[in-house]
């Protein structure tokens, strides 16, 4: 699995792929688990939102994609933007103290 992660990081052009790949894997496992558990939703939601937006900008650069890949990259970029919006909304809700309504 680490080889696949490193190959993806090398392909994306990030520096220090041997260091970045384990960090990315840890972020993609630990932060969602913390988010699901509801631990510090504001901070974790903000981190996940920023991470999701950054991955969209780094990995789905539709503005420089060849014509054959433009639509695919465009869709994936804006998918990341939408997911980022969901994380930011959750962080905002957590800050307001407006969590899920109580169960009936």
| 79-91 pLDDT tens trace | 999 999 999 999 9
Tokens of 13: 């052009």
DSSP letters, 50-95, are HHHHHHHHHH--GGGS-HHHHHHHHHHHHHHHHHHHHHHHHHHHHH
Q: Quick check: 13 and 33 in contact, CB under 8 A?
A: no
| 19-32 pLDDT tens trace | 888 888 899 999 99
Q: Quick check: 5 and 25 in contact, CB under 8 A?
A: yes
Query: What is this structure's pTM?
Result: 0.81
Using CA atoms, how far apart are residues 13 and 22, in angstroms rounded to an integer? 15
Does the pLDDT at position 98 exceed 70? no
- Look at residue 2 in the predicted model and tell me its pLDDT: 46
- Look at residue 1 in the predicted model and tell me its pLDDT: 43
Q: Quick check: 76 and 60 in contact, CB under 8 A?
A: yes
Using CA atoms, how far apart are residues 27 and 34, in angstroms rounded to an integer? 10
């Amino acid at each position: 699995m680490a080889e696949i992660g490193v190959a993806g990081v090398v392909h994306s052009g990030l520096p220090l792929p041997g260091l970045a790949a384990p960090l990315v894997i840890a972020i993609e496992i630990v932060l969602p688990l913390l988010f699901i558990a509801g631990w510090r939703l504001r901070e974790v939601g903000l981190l996940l939102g920023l991470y999701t937006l950054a991955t969209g900008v780094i990995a789905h650069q539709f503005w420089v994609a060849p014509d054959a890949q433009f639509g695919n990259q465009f869709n994936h970029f804006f998918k990341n933007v939408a997911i980022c919006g969901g994380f930011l909304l959750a962080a905002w809700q957590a800050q307001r103290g407006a969590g899920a309504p109580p169960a009936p």
